[in-house]
Amino acid sequence: MREAIEDSRQWKSQGYGGPFGALVVRDEKIIARGFNLVVKNHDPTAHAEIIAIRNACRILGSHSLAGCEIFASCEPCPMCMAAIYWARIDRVWFACTHMDASSAGFDDSLIYREISLPPKARELPMSQILREEALEVLETWARSADKIPY
């Protein structure tokens, strides 16, 4: 965790994004690092955890990080938590809370509130269209014998 915190300190001073760092670890060895690169990459998804997950998957040659843990300098935001679940990471360790991040100006409270609402009740307008066409693609994939489940 100290390395993730130190990484957040180092990269913050570069002006590449927020003061966040993350490490993916397997068998007590660092597999990959991630730093917040939102500003540098002009990419709102370039959070430290996402970058660490992408790097670890590339290094391990797998879309699954089962058997790995992630150390993050701050509690992962909803987007990063979703990526952590999708990557099948075994455990999350974090230092600061999302409330600490909110106090520093990184407020995800809208997302936390909105995610639990049905789509029509959210502030961001959402409308469902062409479900049957899209459903046909999903059903074809589900029946496919050569699909790679994840």
At residue 137, the 3 state secondary structure works out as: helix
Catalytic residue among 49, 133, 136, 139: 49
Helices (H), the chain: 2-12, 38-41, 48-60, 78-86, 98-103, 109-115, 131-143
Query: What residue has token string 């540098």?
Result: 40
Name, in order, each residue with C-beta under 8 angstroms of 93's C-beta and a sequence gap of 6 or more: 1, 69, 70, 71, 72
How remote is the C-alpha of 29 from its chain's centroid? 20
Query: Does 6 participate in catalysis according to the annotation?
Result: no
Name, in order, each residue with C-beta under 8 angstroms of 127's C-beta and a sequence gap of 6 or more: none
Residues carrying an active site annotation: 49
